[in-house]
Amino acid sequence: MLDRAMDLADELVRLRRDIHQHPELGFREFRTAALVAESLEELGIETRTGVGRTGVVADLGSGNGPTLAIRADMDALPIEEQNDVPYRSVNPGVMHACGHDAHTAMLLGVAHLLRQSLANDNWHGKIRLIFQPSEECGDKDGISGATAMLNDGALEGVDAAIALHVISDLPAGICYFQDGYSLASVDSFKAWVRGDGGHGAYPHKGKDPLFMLGPILSYLYAIPSRQINPLRPTVVSLGQIHGGATSNVIPKEVFIEGTIRSYEKEIREQLWEEVEQGFKLSESLGGSYEFQLTKGYPAMLNDTEVNGWIKSSASDLLGEDQVAEREFGMGAEDFAFMTRKVKGAMFNLGAAVPDETKRHHHTDTFDIDESILPIGAAVLAETARRFITGS
C-alpha cells in the first residue's frame, strides 16, 4: 500500500497545491467540492454533492458487511498568506493555515488506492469517503460542517469513522495516537457587567463595573484550581475585556469574552455554572450582569479499538518507530460530533517542514512537508482495506 501511495506522490502534491492556492472559507467550499467530485468521478466513483451544504460523499464497494467512514475537512481560514511559494493563496485574506488542503488531497489519494484494491481484494462492506465543509467555524446558528453532514445523513449506515489531522510542528511522517478523550469540548461565553458609572472623582456616588471585575476575574481564573476536581483537565481563558473610554469617567458597563474547555460532560456542565457564578459576584457589589453561553464542539473521544486498527496499519506500513503516543491537548475538532455518533478515532500525522520558519497552525506562515501526503493516504487506505477484507 505504501509503495502504491508513493507512486501517487506527485498527484497528491498537485492536488494539495491546487486546493492550497484556491482556499475557501467554511460552507463556501464550492471550487474545492467541485474539484473533489470531479477527481472522484474521473476514477469512476459515484458522488453525492451538496451534502451538509458544500460537502461531498462517496461510497466504495457494495459488499454486505460493515461500513467505515473516512473523513477529511475542506475549509480554510481568514488569514492573509505570507509564504512566498508557487502555490501561495490567490484568494486575498483566505489561507489554508490548518492543513485541510492536505487532508482533502490525502482522502482523494485514499480513493485512488482503494479503487485499485477493490479490483483485487475480497471486499465485505463499504468505505464511505466524507469530504466535509466548515470544520473551523459554525454558521450563525453555531452549526459546523460535521453537524451539517450528520444532519444530511452522512453517517447513516456507518459503523465506525476515522480521520487524521496533520500537525505542522511535529516531525514529518510520524503518526501520533491518543486513546479516550483527546481534544476538548469548547464553549464560549460573553458577559456584560453593569454598574451605573459616573465621575472618576466621585467613585462613592456610583457603582463601578471596572472595580467589580477584580473579584470576578479572581473567581474565573480560580475555577480550574479551586472548583473543579484537579484530576479533570479544565481551561477557562479570557480573550477580551472592554470597558471605559477615558481616564476620569467610570463606565456603565464592561464586556468580557472567553472560552471554556474540558473533556468530560459533567465537568463541562459544572463549568457553565461556575463561570456564570463568577459574574454573579457583581450583584453583591451593587451591580448586575448579563451572561451568554454558546455551546460548541463536544470533546473528541478516540475509541481504543478503532485507534488500534489505525495504529497497527501504521506500524506495519511505516515501522514501529514511526508510531507514538501523544497527548493531543485542549484544542477542539468538530470530528468529535462524528465520534459521538459512531465509534471513531482521529490520529495526528507530523508534518514539520525541515526549516527554521515557525509554521504553527492558524498563522500566516503555516505550511507542511508534502512528503507526508502519501504516508497519510497509505495509512488511511490500509486501515480501510483491512476493515473491509478482514485481513
- The residues that touch Zn ion, with contacts defined as CB under 5 A, are 98
At 238, the amino acid letter reads L
Retrieve residue 4's grid coordinates: 502504491
Q: Which is nearer to Zn ion, 12 or 98 (CB)?
A: 98
Q: To which residue does cell 486513546 refer?
A: 179
Alpha-helical segments (H) within 78-126? 100-120
Q: Which is nearer to Zn ion, 98 or 212 (CB)?
A: 98
Cβ closest to Zn ion, residue 126 vs residue 165:
165
Indicate the residue among 98 and 352 with the shorter CB distance to Zn ion.
98
CA 51 to each of CA 16, 55, 129, 131, 342: distance values in angstroms, whole numbers, following the listed order: 22, 5, 12, 9, 18
Question: Shortest Cβ distance from residue 224 to Zn ion (Å)?
Answer: 24
Q: In one letter, which amino acid is 173?
A: G
Could you tell me the smallest distance in angstroms from the CB atom of residue 204 to Zn ion?
49
Cβ at position 201, least distance to Zn ion in Å: 48
Q: Which residue is nearest to Zn ion (CB)?
A: 98
Based on CB atoms, which residue is closest to Zn ion, 230 or 239?
Answer: 239
In the three-class reduction of DSSP (H, G, I as helix; E, B as strand; rest coil), residue 278 is classed as helix
Shortest CB 349 distance to Zn ion, Å: 12
Q: Of the two residues 98 and 345, which places its CB atom closer to Zn ion in the complex?
A: 98
Cα separation values, 280 from 206, 216, 285, Å:
19, 8, 9
Q: Residue 24: CB partners within 8 Å, gap ≥ 6?
A: 30, 31, 32, 74, 75, 76, 91, 94
Q: How far is the CB of 98 from Zn ion (least distance, A)?
A: 3
Q: Which residues contact residue 102 at a Cβ distance below 8 angstroms, ignoring those fewer than 6 apart?
A: 16, 166, 351, 368, 370, 372, 373, 376
- 361, with CB counted inside 10 A (0-12, 13-18, 19+), is middle
Give the cell for residue 2.
505504501
- The half-sphere exposure of 343 on its side-chain side, counting CA atoms within 13 A, is 12
CB of 79 to Zn ion, least distance (A): 10
Taking residue 226's Cβ as centre, other Cβ atoms within 10 Å add up to 11
DSSP SS3 for 108: helix
Least distance from Zn ion to the Cβ atom of residue 234, Å: 22
Choice between 181 and 335, CB closer to Zn ion: 335
250 three-state secondary structure:
strand
Closest distance to Zn ion from the beta carbon of 36 (Å): 17
Q: In terms of CB distance, is 104 or 234 closer to Zn ion? A: 104
φ, ψ at 344 (rounded to 5°) = -160, 170
As measured in angstroms, the least distance from the Cβ of 104 to Zn ion is 11
Residue number with CB closer to Zn ion (78 or 203): 78
3-class DSSP state of 381: helix
